[in-house]
Structure 1
Amino acid sequence: MSEISDISPAAANAERRGDATRQKLLAGGIDVFGRYGFDGASTRMLASAAGVNLQAIPYYFGGKEGLYLAVADHIGETIAGRVGAGAQPARERVEALKAGGAPLEAEEARALLLPMLLGAAELFTNPDSAAWARFMIREQMEPTEAFHRIYTRVMQPMLGIARVLVGVLLDAPADSEAVKLRAMSLVGSVLILRIAQATVMTELGWSDYGPDQMEIVRAMVRDQVMALGREREPATGRSKDE
């Protein structure tokens, strides 16, 4: 007997419409919650920004709080997905190291750290990240469950990988406070491009992150990674690798 789908065309269309409505509410929620915060955002504002019926919020998300947490999950998944390609080789190598694989050498650690940070720089200079940044800044200032979801999905894994690589380059334990702070400062130097964009643009006299500006950003990231761990080397005029 041939297998017959249990989903009728009408049900499939309804499911597609439901998915589209959820996506509209997530996009509207990112913008409205980012601008006004949880308390300042009304369900009417959220529905209007999404262009949907007011009852769609409780129907799809159970209410405003459910939508707020769904927005946090959506931001986390989006950032993780976009940064993932650059971070995947580093993630796999760190997992292998923890499982007893070959020790990491300094130049391999640099080669793994650089694309991860370059990928994050590309992401956070993209105009799409402006709305996420507003939401994330609010959660940094007054953290809620939404902060913990984004942290667990994005920052914790990224910093965990960066700590191992930075620890190799500094020849220090990955769980030491010094290494954790250095890893955070590296990631923070990328995040600041979006979170402090007004200062970056004013200080540098830029109007946006165009091709020329991105070359300077990439060079900055490369310089930071290449200098890591070499600050205390003797000034012999020759590099460590020569």
Structure 2
Amino acid sequence: MTQAMTQPKRLRRSTASGYARGDETRQRIIDAAIQLFGEHGFKDASTRDIAAAAGVNAPALQYYFENKEGLYKACAEYITDDLQARYAPSMKHAKNVLKNHTDVEALIDAYLLMQATTLDSVLVQPHLSRGRLIGRELAGESPQIASEMLRKKMKEPINKLLLSLLARIMHTRPNEPITRIRMLTLKGMVLAFYYPPGACMELLGWKEIDADKGAMIKASVQEQTRTLLMSWHEAGMRKDAA
């Protein structure tokens, strides 16, 4: 399966040209596939169910994506491209702050802006389904295609920026274990809300995370993050003064 997934057949219609032509049917299939792959995993999400959810017949999937593996790869490419566009403003802002500002409030605000982008990308449909799809990959339940694309194109540059911001806030260095541990701590607050699928909603007693509930989660996570960042900053200041 791994080899087949890494070397899929040539698509009859390229991803780039499909996006450029704004192919509504193709996008509808991708949207349905992301939702079902996220809910059921690669193995248990059938092409028949995906086609039905997209309102097309089964041959349409073959026409656009050749096979199930090709469809999954197209979903991974779409998620990666979409996240790159979403993160571009907050990443640009973070780089500017690191270059031109030393004020802790500016540094914390830049960190929170990047975190807000992450929260917006995983809390509200259809983004929640994307987070579930990636979460299943990380848990070994689906081929690691989207997570690998995101690692190379998104995770590595984002982590570099977040570590740089944290180090400046905390008066540490990006490569110090405490900086990396605390970044993982902050990421864990977000991770709890999209993997495993449905776990947070079961605990909260919710059937779904709509816009209002997503906003509530976002506000709570950001409030806790700001408190922690300021606390770590003050501890770093005391350590420097000692």
What's the TM-score bracket when you normalise by the shorter of the two chains? 0.7 to 0.9
Provide structure 2 residue ranges, at least 5 long, that are not aligned to the other structure.
1-17
Determine if the alignment matches structure 1 residue 225 to structure 2 residue 229: yes
Which region of structure 1 is more displaced relative to structure 2, 160-169 or 149-158?
149-158
What is the percentage of aligned positions where both structures have the same residue? 27
Q: Which amino acid aligns with 1:180?
A: R
- How far off is 1:223 after superposition? 1.7
1:8: which partner in 2?
none
Residue type at the aligned position of 1:228 = W
SS at match of 2:124: coil
Q: State the distance in 2 between where 1:225 and 1:197 align.
A: 29
Q: Which runs of 5+ in 1 are unaligned?
A: 1-13
User: In the TM superposition, what are the counterparts of 1:138-177 in structure 2 within 5 Å?
Assistant: 138-142=136-140, 144-177=144-177
Q: CA deviation at 1:212?
A: 5.5
Q: 1:122 to 1:225 in 2, by over 3 A?
A: farther
Q: What number of residue pairs does the alignment pair up?
A: 217
CA distance in 2, matches of 1:43, 1:206: 29
Q: Which residue of 2 aligns with 1:117?
A: 115
> 1:215/1:184 Cα in 2 relative to 1: closer, same or farther (>3 Å)?
closer
Structure 2 counterpart of 1:39: 43
Higher relative contact order (CA 8 A, sep 6+): 2
Q: 1:27 aligns with which of 28, 31, 51?
A: 31
Letter in 2 for 1:230: E
Q: Cα deviations across residues 151-183 of structure 1 (Å, max 9, x unaligned)?
A: 233322221210111122233321333322322
Distance (whole Å) between structure 2 residues aligned to residue 21 and residue 213 of structure 1: 33
* Runs of 4+ off more than 6 Å: 14-18, 204-207
Paired amino acid for 1:82: R
Structure 2 residue corresponding to 1:80, chosen from 79, 84, 99: 84
Residue identity matched to 1:140:
L
SS at match of 1:193: coil
Q: CA deviation at 1:232?
A: 5.3
Separation in 2, partners of 1:103, 1:16: 39
CA distance in 1, matches of 2:19, 2:76: 23
Larger radius of gyration: 1
Cα distance in 2 between the residues matched to 1:58 and 1:141: 28
**Distance in 2 separating the partners of 1:215 and 1:146:** 28
